[in-house]
Amino acid sequence: MPKKTDSNLKVPFGLKDGRLYRPDDVPSGLPCGCICPACETKLVANHGKQKRSYFSHHRTESCAGGYETAVHLMAKQVILDEMRLRIPPITIPFEFSPIEDEKPIRSSVRYPERDVELVVVVAEKQQGRWRPDLTATLKNHAPLYIEILVTHAVEEEKAETLDNLVEVDLSNIPLESVYDAKAFSEEVVLYAPRRWYRCSLYDDLKRTKDARRELEERAARMASEHQAQKAEQEKKAYHAQMAQMREENRRKVSQRLKSKDSFKNDALIHHKLRGQLFKLRDRKAAYVAPPAGGLDNIPVDGEWVFSVPRSTWQHYILEDCLPNMRVDQSFTAKDILAKVVHQFPWSQDIEAIMQMRHKLSGTDGQNVPDPEKIVADYLRILALSAVISFGADQNSFTRFWGDRWSKHLTWKG
């Protein structure tokens, strides 16, 4: 806006029959038939030979908002007449955080300013609770909302609501350009500063998608490398924990073997289950592990104890058990094992052993796999592969938002 007081700024355009006119475009004096765009009082067209023509108010002082309102309305009229506009450049940023608690990675794609044809332009059309200065439609049927800034910028809430909202800034347009029809038109359509508040015109272009996909793939690689490092660390910690647990169990077994009563009890159990223990030993000896293949066919120690092939019970866990677990609730291998055994009951030759396995000790106990541990080992592999997550410790697990069974919104720039 020119740095003069409002009272010193003449009304540059007069309103007549719904259109704005310059003083030289209408008859001189009161017969010009124009009114002030702001206060709607009659205007007098003053044609000057030595100085610039201007409008003055008839029998009243100049109103404070006459200049501002006239420039604002004339800018809209120019765009309505020209049916074109230069839209500003835009930089579309992308950001991904592949590693938690570390700085995100960023990139961007920039589109230069360009001139667009406005297929349809309507002034003051209501858009929900907002009424933009101009509502236009582009050739690709996309909407474009145009605001003219003379003294008042776009409200923050309005800017956040309307997509493809561009603001043309005439707050510092020179007076010479205001009173020059060609210069004013060029300022409005082409040269005046302008900015985007929101813009999705370029979101679906190949260049935008390629840039977003490139950064996304880079983020995925970084996440995979980080996950592999983390998995290796967790694997070492897990093996150390398992070694400690085995040592504790060995110590407990040793103490039980020293007890005479315990020894007798173990002997009775062994005698009772001797036939089934032999069958279990034969099953283990005859078992031939199939080749691995995918997340539902992963080798796990002791897998031969189940009544169905490895791929069958693992596929059931991956595609039936886990999708039905709540995302916000942890679960254990014991929970999953109960579902697996219900679906695939123990065969008759080892059912009794599985029911009394906790009472076995010594060699008998070592020869009977712990099915809960087998399932836990499989779940830990899934957790280390980022299919599920560890819970509060290595013995509990959770699903997470955005996992393979969740409906997850993709990034929109």
pLDDT (tens digit per residue) in 62-103: 788 889 999 999 999 999 999 999 999 999 999 999 888 889
Name the DSSP letter for residue 79: H
Average of pLDDT values for 207-220?
Answer: 94
Residue 151 lies in a domain: yes
Average of pLDDT values for 153-164?
Answer: 91
CB atoms within 10 A of CB 13: 27
- 321 plus 267 within the same structural domain: yes
CB neighbour list of residue 138: distance below 8 Å, 6 or more residues apart: 116, 117, 118, 119, 144, 201
- Say whether pLDDT at 354 is over 80: no
More confident residue, 325 or 262: 325
Assign 373 to helix, strand or coil.
Answer: helix
Residue 102 lies in a domain: no
pLDDT tens per residue across span 396-410: 999 988 888 876 434
Residue 168 domain boundaries: 84-96+109-207
Which pLDDT score is estimated for 211?
94
Residue 179 lies in a domain: yes
- 332 plus 393 within the same structural domain: yes
- Say whether pLDDT at 307 is over 60: yes
Average of pLDDT values for 274-287?
Answer: 73
What is the model's pTM? 0.55
- 286 plus 334 within the same structural domain: yes
Which pLDDT score is estimated for 358?
63
- 61 plus 118 within the same structural domain: no
Q: Please give the sequence-ordered ranges of beta strands (E in DSSP) within 38-83, or none if there are none.
A: 43-46, 54-57
More confident residue, 277 or 207: 207
Query: How many domains are contained in the chain?
Result: 3
Which pLDDT score is estimated for 273?
61
Where residue 360 falls among pLDDT bands split at 50, 70, 90? low
Q: To the nearest 10°, the Cα dihedral for 270, 308, 391, 320?
A: -140
In which order are the strands placed within the sheet that holds 194-198? 120-123, 134-137, 143-149, 165-169, 194-198
Residue 378 lies in a domain: yes
- 178 plus 134 within the same structural domain: yes
- 124 plus 172 within the same structural domain: yes
- 171 plus 153 within the same structural domain: yes
Average of pLDDT values for 310-320?
Answer: 92
Residue 24 lies in a domain: yes
- 17 plus 53 within the same structural domain: yes
**Average pLDDT of the chain to the nearest whole number:** 86
Which pLDDT score is estimated for 381?
93
Assign 347 to helix, strand or coil.
Answer: coil
Which pLDDT score is estimated for 259?
55
Which pLDDT score is estimated for 166?
96
- 75 plus 119 within the same structural domain: no
Task: Tell me which of 113-127, 301-315, 354-368, 373-387 is least confident.
Answer: 354-368
**β-bridge mates for residue 332, sequence order:** 396
Which pLDDT score is estimated for 263?
43
Our CA angle for 183, 164, 123, nearest 5°, is 60
Residue 238 lies in a domain: no
- 127 plus 74 within the same structural domain: no
- Say whether pLDDT at 412 is over 90: no
- 292 plus 373 within the same structural domain: yes
Average of pLDDT values for 381-385?
Answer: 92
Residue 407 lies in a domain: no
- 190 plus 294 within the same structural domain: no
Residue 143 lies in a domain: yes
